[in-house]
Amino acid sequence: MNEQETTADSNNSSAAVAEDPGADSNSAVSVFRRTIKTYVLRAGRMTDSEKRSYEELHQVWCLPFEHKTLNFTEIFGNTNPVTFEIGFGMGHATAAIARANPEMNYIGSEVHVPGVGRLLSEIKKNQLKNLFIIEYDALEILKSMIPDGSIEAFHIFFPDPWPKKKHHKRRLVQRPHTDLLMQKLTPGGYIYFATDWQEYAEEALSELEATDGLKNRYEGFAPHQEWRPRTKFEQKGIDAGRNIFELYFEKEE
């Protein structure tokens, strides 16, 4: 999520997208000859508080990107289920969800430095022990660091819709990326996606339905999950007259 001027312009989803989104699902974790990003690194001014949090807490709550598989038990000190959020923006909902569910573990990926600083300050303020950050490209994290069958849930809230047709290949929720997400999910785990861009929602629905191993928990779009907090950013989209579309797909057991 990204609390910027409009939801249509939003995206700090830290993911890279393959040049050929229609590639065969077996190539989901292959090394592609060229990749393009689904996000744009926008300049953003950090507040003094965000700067302090970033400088003081980065080494504590941010995991470095490495070509090394993560051991969640060592990181969190328990065997609780892990949720991975792709592109948490300013992190308000991320912190709220982690605070409300201490029995769950959370990893958030983000490339927007002010957002990382803001979430770090929320982690400190709320004394959260179940939330870590990786400041890097999410799909690279998934390919290099996340074991297959280890993630209980993926949260993808308001990624960049890339509304121009020539940019659709930059969208995150499409194959083969959905194949990769399915590969990393535990049996029964879920992908929860929300957007205020109807055309993207319809395409994402089609792409998820075409992903082997996933099933829609609902008929078509999902109702709003009450445990997901609405942010100021999301409210701006609603105030502008845009509808919110949500999808909830589960990995077959």
* 165 annotated ligand-binding residue: no
CA 37/CA 169 separation, integer angstroms: 10
User: 221 pLDDT exceeds 80?
Assistant: yes
User: 197 pLDDT exceeds 60?
Assistant: yes
Give the pLDDT band (50/70/90) at residue 17: very low
| Average model confidence (pLDDT) across the chain | 86
* 125 annotated ligand-binding residue: no
Burial class of residue 46 in the structure, from the number of CB atoms within 10 Å of its CB (0-12 exposed, 13-18 middle, 19+ buried): middle
**What pTM, to 2 d.p., does this model score?**
0.85
Under 8 Å between Cβ of 43 and 64: no
Looking at 9, 20, 160, 239, which residue is catalytic? 160
9 is catalytic: no
pLDDT tens digits along 23-62: 344 444 443 334 655 555 565 688 888 899 999 999 999 9
CA 54/CA 117 separation, integer angstroms: 5
- Determine the pLDDT at residue 35: 64
Domain ranges for the chain = 7-251
H-helix or E-strand spanning residue 50: helix 48-61
Better-predicted residue by pLDDT, 236 or 246? 246
User: 12 pLDDT exceeds 60?
Assistant: no
Under 8 Å between Cβ of 213 and 253: no
Task: For residues 222-248, give the mean pLDDT.
Answer: 92
pLDDT tens digits along 109-157: 999 999 999 999 999 999 999 999 999 999 999 999 999 999 999 999 9
User: 209 pLDDT exceeds 70?
Assistant: yes
* 110 annotated ligand-binding residue: yes
CATH number of 7-251: 1.10.10.10, 2.60.40.420, 3.40.50.1370, 3.40.50.150?
A: 3.40.50.150
